[in-house]
Amino acid sequence: MNESHRIEYKQKLTADFEKTIVSFLNYKEGGVVYIGISSDGKIFGCENPDEIQLKIKDKLKYNIAPSCLGLFEVILETIEKIYIIKIIIASGRETPYYVKKYGMSSKGCFIRIGSSSEPMSQTLIEDLFAKRVRNSISKIKAPRQDLTFEQLKIYYEAKDLKLNDKFASTLELLTQDGHYNYVAYLLADANGTSIKVAKYAGIDKIDLIENNEYGYCSLIKATNQVLNKLDVENKTATLITHTTRKEQPLWDKVALREAVINAMVHNDYTTEVPPVFEIYSDRIEITSSGGLSTIKNIDDFFSGYSKPICRELMRVYKDLEFVEHLGSGLNRILKAYDKNSFNISQNFMKNIFHSNTKPIEGINGGLNGGLNGGVNGGLNNLLIYIQQHNDLNSKKLSEDLNIPQRTIQRWIKQLKNQEKIEYKGSKKTGGYFAK
């Protein structure tokens, strides 16, 4: 790749490094900087890459304002067995960013033009400052100050990371006057944020059959609870033939996870409207607050340019490995679902993933005994499944195969009459076995 408006090569860490980073922070598409590659694309590599990575993080943390923590990612890569360092920079929302020692001036503020970082005019600096986003939840004082963070500490420790006594400052969970901010409130053990997962019997909201409420706890814990619940609901349909066994979930698992994380991280919590997850008979809908009011440009959004609404939350989710790389989540969704799965209005964004119904053939005989051989096909496939999965009761078979329990019970009765299966064990813990 050649240098471009989004890519810059540096043979080594130079004195103008911060200038390049600032230009990408101020640029609507962000960018990528490679250390260890010359401007003509020749690979030189990095000696002492661990030491250089620490220097990079220190420069970004201490030499640039406003804070860009959560807007960059430093990655060690190898090309032809040579170490290089890749820095991904997301576009920031608190423009103009500037090199601290030069202040908010033409000497400190830069913008990406073509493949170079150019100084901003004073007029542009003033214009960007006037439009700067000021409603960041990091600047809003938490409604409570008696916050504890035991849940957050447990999740960090699970990743071999430890939060010290100064973690609130390190993770930017404090306002300028030292109070806990709204980010801290969302990540605290107890808060007023509720995340709902609703399930309906049909394709509309008339028949609510399940209403789960997660939250009032750390947003990280609530995210895990939602992911676990949707994993249970994302039933796998199975097609069994005499030679193969093919499984397919209702919704693409990778895309579903990314959509959940995006809804949690990129929700506009200044509206005090949390994400909502709704499961229908033919689809799942994931709604978050924001939409055009925060995205601004749909073309940029679908191009995958990362612009986190709350960089402080993004940083925590990256620390805990919910997020792989900046900007990667949208691309993972678009691999499984097209742009039409996004419904973006002025103040909301909704992901609509329609259920995969093709695997209903074969083992998932459906309400009428299946499309693959009718009732007899359903019976045969149920028998094959029991042969491969002994000790399952009718309820578990119904859940595994996504077939109504009454249908399963009717087929089981026929298979028992034909003396092809038998029930072993107690009424509560036993299951069916093939003879």
In a domain, residue 332? The reply is yes
In a domain, residue 2? The reply is no
As given in the structure block, the two tokens for residue 251 are 């919704």
308 prior amide bond cis, ω within 30: no
pLDDT by 10s per residue, the chain, length 435: 788 999 999 999 999 999 999 999 999 889 999 999 999 999 999 999 999 999 999 999 999 999 999 999 999 999 988 999 999 999 998 899 999 999 999 999 999 999 999 999 999 999 999 888 766 899 899 999 999 999 999 999 999 999 999 999 999 999 989 999 999 999 999 999 999 999 998 899 988 999 999 989 999 999 999 999 999 999 876 655 555 666 789 999 999 999 999 999 999 998 889 999 999 999 999 999 988 777 777 877 887 666 788 999 999 999 999 998 887 888 899 999 999 999 999 889 999 999 986 433 334 444 333 433 344 557 777 888 888 777 888 888 888 777 888 888 888 998 998 888 999 888 888 889 888
Length of the chain: 435
> Look-up: residue for tokens 């619940």?
229
Domain shared by 199 and 344, yes or no: yes
8 A C-beta contact, residue 191 and residue 202: no
In a domain, residue 389? The reply is yes
What residue numbers bound the domain in which 221 lies? 194-236+245-310+317-354
Question: Within 13 Å of residue 73, how many CA atoms lie on the same side as its CB?
Answer: 25
As for how many domains the chain has, the answer is: 4
pTM above the 0.75 mark?
no
325 three-state secondary structure: coil
From the list 159, 237, 263, the residue with the least C-alpha distance to 399 is 237
In a domain, residue 256? The reply is yes
Which residues pair with residue 78 across a beta bridge? 83
In a domain, residue 117? The reply is yes
Sign of the Cα torsion 167, 168, 173, 175 reads negative
Domain shared by 205 and 348, yes or no: yes
Tell me what pLDDT residue 200 has. 93
Domain shared by 329 and 420, yes or no: no
How far are the Cα atoms of 311, 381, 411 from residue 430, in angstroms, in the given order?
Answer: 51, 21, 18
Domain shared by 283 and 348, yes or no: yes
Domain shared by 204 and 340, yes or no: yes
8 A C-beta contact, residue 92 and residue 107: no
Strand-by-strand arrangement of the 31-35 sheet = 7-10, 31-35, 82-89, 72-79
Domain shared by 176 and 291, yes or no: no
Domain shared by 207 and 324, yes or no: yes
Domain shared by 162 and 253, yes or no: no
Domain shared by 203 and 304, yes or no: yes
